[in-house]
Amino acid sequence: MPYGIEVFNNNNSFQFGTTVLEGFSVISTGTVAGFGTLPLNTTNEILCIRRSNTGGIFGTTTPGTSGSWYNANSNAIDYLKLQRIRTTAENDTGAYGIRIFNTASEITYSSKFTRGQKLLHVYAPGTLGGEVIVYSGDLTGVYYGFGRMVYNTTQNNECCSFDYTANTIKSINNNYYFIPGSGTLTIAKANDSSVLIMARN
């Protein structure tokens, strides 16, 4: 970058650059209770999820501006909601700092943000099938993002599992066919939308 400004936080995560025209930021964080539902505007929000112990994450996305994600697990799931070039309130309450706004009067950078996120990997639609390791390494602060999760008796689409022994995340994309007298046949299917691996520090 010959001219401009780049800003990094104290964890060396990139937060703002004058040459970066698009990006995304965390607009909300929290926990979805077991068998709970999280409102989700699938037209402009991306949901990233994680669990703090070994096991799968299964759920169902209802698309739309008034959509949602249903947590089909008995355990609570941590989440990040992301949106392109939009941020919410700073998490440092100090009186001094710098803010940068875009043309829509939205804060794109503030020196009061003390946490950042990093996109580790993007898997394009159709590149994952079956149970595939999509991340290997320290799972602290690492989230799995998806476009449309589906979980029912006939398919798993963009579901995932976290393994804290092997330190891996798997994406799960399968079709299931019941064959009388033989049981269930599992056939790998392609992921319908992009899958993201995101780290937050």
| 98-141 pLDDT, tens digit each | 777 767 676 666 666 555 678 899 999 999 999 999 999 999 99
Instruction: Look at residues 59, 56, 32, 77 and name the one whose alpha carbon lies nearest to residue 147.
Output: 59
Predicted confidence at residue 118, as pLDDT, reads: 81
pLDDT for residue 19 is more than 50: yes
Is 158 a residue whose pLDDT tops 90? Answer: yes
Average pLDDT for 81-90: 62
- How would you class 56 by CB atoms within 10 Å of its CB: exposed for 0-12, middle for 13-18, buried for 19 or more? middle
Question: Is 1 part of a structural domain of the chain?
Answer: no
Between 195 and 100, the more confident residue is 195
pLDDT-based confidence at residue 15 (cuts at 50, 70, 90) = low
pLDDT at 200: 82
Write out the DSSP string of 142-198: EEEEES--EESSSEEEEEEEEETTTTEEEEEEEEEEEETTTEEEEEE-B-SS-EEEE
pLDDT at position 115: 57
| pLDDT for residue 119 | 84
- DSSP-derived 3-state class of residue 9: coil
38 within some domain: yes
Q: Tell me, yes or no, whether 103 lies in a domain.
A: yes
How many domains does the chain fold into?
A: 1
- The C-alpha atoms of residue 96 and residue 99 are separated, in whole angstroms, by 10
**What range does the domain containing 57 cover?**
6-200
Q: What is the DSSP string of 97-116?
A: --EEE-TTS-EEEETT----
